Amino acid sequence: MAEQPDGWESRGKQPTLFRRFNFERYGQTRDFVDALSALTEAQGVHPQNINFGSTYVNVTLDPNAAGLADADLAVRINALYHPAGV
């Protein structure tokens, strides 16, 4: 909320970021979840929600401290995604 005027606070819904990552096998899904966990732990943050099954991971990111969706984190998570990789 650092960017709000003095004495004011943000109310109402703030934007989140959502992406679905698809995989061919559970092993790939598992590797992605593990990498995502390591990344967010290293950054001291965590997604608002992670929802995964055999071949998909849905990730929802909170708004950041400025009330904006955390695009930087989203880009870093994208970099972990290698669906066609070994």
Options 10, 49, 72, 78; binder of its own copies; rule CB under 8 A: 49
- Asked if 26 interacts with its own copies (CB under 8 A), we say yes
Distance CA 69, CA 45 (A): 13
- Asked if 48 interacts with its own copies (CB under 8 A), we say yes
- Asked if 43 interacts with its own copies (CB under 8 A), we say no
Question: Whose structure tokens read 């819904």?
Answer: 13
Pick the closest to residue 61 from 49, 52, 53, 72 (CA basis). Answer: 49
- Interface residues toward its own copies, by CB under 8 A: 26, 30, 33-34, 37, 41, 46-54
